[in-house]
Amino acid sequence: MATTVGRVKGPNEDVESSLTNDDPALVDAFPEELPSWHGYIEWQNYPERRKKAHDILAAYKDKFTPIPEFQLKPLPETNPILVGHRWKEYHAVLGPTLKDIPAESWALVQKEKAADMVHVLDFPYNGEPPRDKLMQGKITPNKYHFVRNHGGIPTIDKAAFKLNIGGLVNKPQTLTLADLQDPNKFEPVEVTVTLQCSGTRRIEQIHEYPGDGDELINAPWGEGAIGTARYRGVSLKKVLKYCGGMKDNARHIEFLGADTYFKKLEVYNYAVSVPRRKVEAVDEVLLAWEMNGEPLPAIHGAPLRMVVTGFIGARSCKWVYQINVLDEPSHGPVQRKEYLYYGPQTGKQNVQFSNGFSIQEMPVSSAIMTPKDREVVVHQGEIEITGWAYSGGGRWIERVDVSADGGHIWYQCKPDDMTEKHYHAWRLWKITLPLHAEGWLELCVRAFDNACNTQPTFVRSTWNWDLHVTSSAHRIKIYSVNASHEDTARRLRELKENGDSLEPITRPLMFHIESDEHYNEIVKKHPREPEE
Ligand SMILES: Nc1nc2c(c(=O)[nH]1)N[C@H]1C(S)=C(S)[C@@H](COP(=O)(O)O)O[C@H]1N2
Ligand SMILES: [Mo]
């Protein structure tokens, strides 16, 4: 095998990997499975192929770039924030069919996502929209919908697409996209769905206490790993009925995605599963081909993806090509070894997969989107605050409370100031709060869903080793400047007259802030020391 090894790069250094493997035999060893399914290498069905990939990865083990350390130090102020050298190298060393996938995936990011996306990790691509773009409306425009990938982006020709459905069904089937879209076979449905990555707001957990530095970077998401779209597709329930229904011992329905996933030097296709009872609910698990009236973008799973309402985003498998009805949860590492919720004393010293529970339904959560953390807010005695609130499991948001004093006095959002209710989608909200106090204040929000569930009080309350589901009351610090106060209004005028500005607040005032006459007058009236 031909090998070039460059110098070892700094973890976040923005250079392309110099690790390559030009062994021509690898084209045949890891072929693309089907014509017009670019980037799809089948692993599950070929144990020998998986072993060969493992042997190559093991041979390169010590040459891969280390996983970047970003939890114990400040995040780089770059965009992309983090660079996925190691995962690019995994693809590079497996040869010709995989080596260009990172570059091609990045080109798709440029094509399908807005130029101002925050690229949290360049490969596998993880990106969230700027806060104002998320708040534009109930529906997130496709180009601003967050993306969470575990591997490259396959590009699959619609006409060549087929979906296999097997396992514990009475009549296994292979369906084309045309079959699925045929209203004589399946009645199409449209559902408004919020997808939320269970890593949303993870940065707050990291800031509190750093946790697991997973091989596939546990992205340091802000409040934007959530988005809402109207998906068109068919209900999996009906498709399984078309397959003669499930056998009695069916328990979990597994979805396989065409992308390649790596874990501990092994290769897989992305695989997750959901419980039978979820699939049997009406229109809660969809096979979707359209997102907001447009064909599903490649980056969001074209031509077909699962949309599992009310569950963590991870179950909504993109580029789905195989559905297996099983008598137990999927053996895929994403299902069994990740997306686990651990207790507070679990960590590197003692963690075992069986200790955590598998995260499925998302709990109620919310976020303040404007103002933003550490913003200096100049106001006239009231401020407008906006954000989102969401609950999973088919529950919806009933109430949103906002506090400007860290959570003692709460003000309730008016129904007119919240977007409409949906079983499976968030509500955007806004509120105008009376605000007398100045200086540093802690704003926070908590939402209630229709089951009266609300949010843990502090990040610390539910901190967990894998840094999932940061659902505590969202807290931000703002610097309040109340210009309806006479003294404050005067200072703002003085700043203007002196051609100076309030921000940054840390820059010292360079003019005399008080006349000697005024000072003397006041200290005469209120002497500095007692007289006796
Ligand atoms: N095949 C496949 N499906 C996948 C993933 C993936 O990496 N591969 N990521 C999952 C995760 S963790 C999330 S949060 C959602 C994100 O969906 P989006 O990228 O369309 O927003 O897709 C899920 N489906
Ligand atoms: Mo996710």
Q: What is the 3-state secondary structure (H, E, C) of 31-56?
A: CCCCCCEECCCCCCCCHHHHHHHHHH
- The CA distances from residue 265 to 23, 52, 91, in Å, are 19, 11, 11
pTM value? Answer: 0.95
Task: Calculate how far, in angstroms, residue 314's C-alpha sits from the geometric centre of ligand 2.
Answer: 4
**Among the ranges given (8-12, 201-205, 224-228, 232-236), the one the predictor scored with the smallest mean pLDDT:** 8-12
Ligand located closest to 224 CA: 1
Share of the chain above pLDDT 70, in %: 97
**Who lines ligand 1 at CB under 6 A?**
145-151, 195, 197, 257, 259, 270, 300, 313-314, 316-319
Burial class (CB within 10 angstroms; exposed 0-12, middle 13-18, buried 19+) of 485:
middle
Ligand located closest to 193 CA: 1
What is the model's pLDDT at position 25? 87
The pair of three-digit structure tokens given for residue 475, joined into one six-digit string: 């807290």
* Nearest CA, atom 18, ligand 1: 147
Higher pLDDT, 240 or 27: 240
Say if residue 16's pLDDT is above 70.
no
Task: Calculate how far, in angstroms, residue 313's C-alpha sits from the geometric centre of ligand 1.
Answer: 6
Which atom of ligand 1 is the closest one to the Cα of 320?
Answer: 1
Mean pLDDT of 223-249: 98
CATH architecture of 26-358: Alpha-Beta Complex (3.90)
Mean pLDDT of 210-214: 95
For the CA atoms of 153, 154, 156, 161, what is the dihedral angle to 10 degrees? -110
Radius of gyration of the chain (CA): 27
For the CA atoms of 310, 315, 319, 324, what is the dihedral angle to 10 degrees? -120
Cα 34 to chain centroid distance, Å, stands at: 31
75-133 pLDDT tens trace:
999 999 999 999 999 999 999 999 999 999 999 999 999 999 999 999 999 999 999 99
Residue with tokens 């083990």: 61
* Helix %, strand %, coil % of the chain (to 5): 25, 30, 50
Report H helices in 312-403.
333-336
Task: Calculate how far, in angstroms, residue 197's C-alpha sits from the geometric centre of ligand 2.
Answer: 4
Report H helices in 69-215.
85-93, 96-99, 101-112, 131-134, 177-181, 202-208
What is the model's pLDDT at position 1? 38
> Do the beta carbons of residue 116 and residue 133 sit within 8 Å?
yes
Task: Calculate how far, in angstroms, residue 185's C-alpha sits from the geometric centre of ligand 2.
Answer: 32
What is the model's pLDDT at position 32? 97
Which among 44, 108, 148, 262 is the best mutation to test ligand 1's pocket, defined by most ligand atoms within 8 Å of the CB?
148
What is the model's pLDDT at position 7? 35
Report H helices in 149-255.
177-181, 202-208, 236-242
Say if residue 24's pLDDT is above 90.
no
Task: Calculate how far, in angstroms, residue 507's C-alpha sits from the geometric centre of ligand 2.
Answer: 41
Cα 482 to chain centroid distance, Å, stands at: 36
Mean pLDDT of 167-179: 98
Collapsing DSSP states into helix, strand and coil, what is residue 213? Answer: coil
Mean pLDDT of 192-201: 98
Measured CA to CA, the distance from residue 245 to residue 235 in angstroms comes to 13
Which among 128, 197, 323 is the best mutation to test ligand 1's pocket, defined by most ligand atoms within 8 Å of the CB?
197
* Nearest CA, atom 12, ligand 1: 314
The mean pLDDT value of the chain amounts to: 95
What is the model's pLDDT at position 88? 96
Measured CA to CA, the distance from residue 414 to residue 160 in angstroms comes to 50
* Nearest CA, atom 4, ligand 1: 317
Q: What amino acid is encoded at 285 in this protein?
A: V
What is the model's pLDDT at position 121? 97
With both helix axes pointing from N to C terminus, report the angle between 101-112 and 85-93 in degrees, rounded to the nearest 10. 130
Collapsing DSSP states into helix, strand and coil, what is residue 160? Answer: helix
- The CA distances from residue 492 to 47, 52, 165, 499, in Å, are 71, 69, 68, 11
With both helix axes pointing from N to C terminus, report the angle between 85-93 and 47-60 in degrees, rounded to the nearest 10. 120
> Do the beta carbons of residue 234 and residue 350 sit within 8 Å?
no
What is the model's pLDDT at position 472? 98
239: CB partners within 8 A, 6+ apart: 165, 175, 180, 186, 287
Measured CA to CA, the distance from residue 390 to residue 217 in angstroms comes to 25
* Nearest CA, atom 23, ligand 1: 314
Task: Calculate how far, in angstroms, residue 524's C-alpha sits from the geometric centre of ligand 1.
Answer: 69
Say if residue 423's pLDDT is above 60.
yes
Is 365-482 in CATH node 2.60.40.10?
A: no
297-340 pLDDT tens trace:
999 999 999 999 999 999 999 999 999 999 999 999 999 999 99
Ligand located closest to 335 CA: 1
Report H helices in 94-173.
96-99, 101-112, 131-134
* Nearest CA, atom 5, ligand 1: 149
Mean pLDDT of 433-461: 98
Which atom of ligand 1 is the closest one to the Cα of 257?
Answer: 1
What is the model's pLDDT at position 308? 98
Task: Calculate how far, in angstroms, residue 198's C-alpha sits from the geometric centre of ligand 2.
Answer: 5
> Phi-psi region for residue 457, left (φ > 0), alpha (ψ -120 to 50) or beta?
alpha
Task: Calculate how far, in angstroms, residue 377's C-alpha sits from the geometric centre of ligand 1.
Answer: 37
Task: Calculate how far, in angstroms, residue 468's C-alpha sits from the geometric centre of ligand 2.
Answer: 9
353-367 pLDDT tens trace:
999 999 999 999 999
Confidence bin at 453 (pLDDT 50/70/90) = very high
Ligand located closest to 272 CA: 1
Q: Where are the domains of the chain?
A: 26-358, 365-482, 486-525
Residue with tokens 């499925």: 360
380-421 pLDDT tens trace:
999 999 999 999 999 999 999 999 999 999 999 999 999 999
